[in-house]
Structures are given as structure tokens and as C-alpha cells.
Structure 1
């Protein structure tokens, strides 16, 4: 995850369960954008086990470039 930086953070959505992934993706965008009439009591935060920073959602052994690079990518 060499391009996941503070200036350009990755948001990863685990999509093993497609329906939950889509709903959490929508929740992520609704929480990220300010718009008129936004009600924080209606739009709750996405599930942190499904949506989050790359390092938090994807286990190091599941690194996109392989397990060998997972130990050096931290």
C-alpha cells in the first residue's frame, strides 16, 4: 500500500457480502459529504470491519502485492 498516504488515503470496502458492501459504501459517501438537511441520527457510520483505511481493513497477510511484501509495507 505504498500509495496509501496521509495526503491521499485509500478507503477499502471489503465486498465478500455484496449487499452489505454496497450499503456501507453508500454510508461512507453520505458521511463524507456535507449537504443540506444532513441528519446524523439517520445516517449512521459504516461498519468499521467492512469500510476503512487500507491498513485497518485488509490484514497484512492479504496484501495486494503478496504476503512477502506485507511485512515491509508498514
Structure 2
């Protein structure tokens, strides 16, 4: 029930059911990292030793590094 894909360096993920859960993933590359919801709300994403954990639900979220986020939102 989890849908996920990479679009370039941006990772998008959501659940295809009405549940929410924690998602863990390894992030390679330079941070700092951010998580962005579908309405554009951005939050810093805590990453420890390359590992990130965040909540997913029916609404997609996007994970990308802050530099790419700033380029996309200029």
C-alpha cells in the first residue's frame, strides 16, 4: 500500500490506504535535508548517520536536500 518514486534527486512517497506510519530511509549525498508536503510546507529533516525517519500518510511528501529545494522555489 506504499507508493514511492525518485524524480531526479527528489524522493516522493505516500500511502495508498487510510493509514499512517513511520518510514525510515538512508540518504546519500549532501544535506541538510528537508521534507515538503503537497502544499509546499517545508520542514528540516533530522538525519543521523545518513538515516532519516519521518511519517507518511495518504498525502505525498517529498524528501530532498535544502539546496535543491531552494533552487526549485526561487
Under TM normalisation by the shorter chain, which class is it?
Answer: under 0.3
More helix by share: 1
The structure number with the bigger radius of gyration is 1
More strand by share: 2
TM-score, normalised relative to structure 1: 0.22
